[in-house]
Amino acid sequence: MSAPVIELVDVTKSFPGPPVVTALHAATIRIESSAYVSIVGPSGSGKSTLLNLLGLLDRPTTGSYLFDGVPTTDLTENGRAALRARSIGFVFQSFHLLPERTVLENVLLSTLYSGVPRESRLERALTAIEQVGLSHRSTFTPATLSGGERQRVAVARAIITSPKVLLADEPTGNLDQQTSRQVMELFEQLNDDGMAVVVITHDAAVARRATRVVHIVDGRVEEQ
């Protein structure tokens, strides 16, 4: 078993309201650095709340979160941002690509604040585009690509820093079955290459592709 990259212990997240909403109840999740985990649950069950916590985009109300052994609740905002930029890649349902820019430019631009050294940015961008199988599309703009290809550009942008963890929130929500399968295959390949992958989804077929499935219902996490 490899070391945990994510250790969430008794984490609760409440939003102040009024009314107060407790979106996550005392969640404990341990994810190893070689894992491919899906987190599945219905709409409103707390999936995005959990992803925001795992991705250091939000802080727990109570409980502790160690990322790669670092107690993140003690970090400053800058410390969290630096850890996030270095170690976590994000993929969302919407691709968030710049329409006027090429595939290569979209991927390159993401490295501006990522800490990737300037001289290696181009090389890294080309490698990431190759990893998602889009080298032949690097000079294309997003409008000329299929939905699945656009999401693969978003994945290239997310992995350019070689993050420890790829966090995906409903990554196939805008895709048809066939293209969503391509994106899932890409996640499997990245996981085979050593990246921890966490996919949040309400789609049971997508969830089943992972080697481990965590369920979340009404803000309560349970494994099956």
Give whichever of 23 and 158 is closer to Mg ion, judged by the CB atom. 23
Q: How far is CA 6 from CA 30, 37, 164, 177, in A?
A: 6, 11, 10, 30
String of contacts with ligand ADP for each residue 58-97, x by CB under 6 A = ----------------------------------------
Q: Of the ranges 41-49, 78-86, 108-116, 137-145, which one interacts with ligand ADP (CB under 6 A)? A: 41-49
Residues 41-60 touching Mg ion, rule: CB under 5 A, are 47-48
Q: Of the ranges 36-44, 89-97, 133-141, 157-165, which one interacts with ligand ADP (CB under 6 A)? A: 36-44
CB distance 224 to 213 below 8 Å: yes
CB of 47 to Mg ion, least distance (A): 5
Q: Are strands 70-71 and 88-92 parallel, antiparallel or unpaired?
A: unpaired
Give whichever of 96 and 136 is closer to ligand ADP, judged by the CB atom. 96
Helices of type H across 1-102: 47-54, 77-87
Core vs surface per residue 130-159: b (16+ CB within 10 A) or e: ebbebeebbeebbeebeebbbbbbbbbbbb
The one among 6, 11, 29, 47 contacting ligand ADP by CB under 6 A: 47
**Residue 23 interacts with ligand ADP (CB under 6 A)?**
yes
**Residue 48 interacts with ligand ADP (CB under 6 A)?**
yes
CB distance 34 to 188 below 8 Å: no
The one among 21, 81, 82, 213 contacting ligand ADP by CB under 6 A: 21
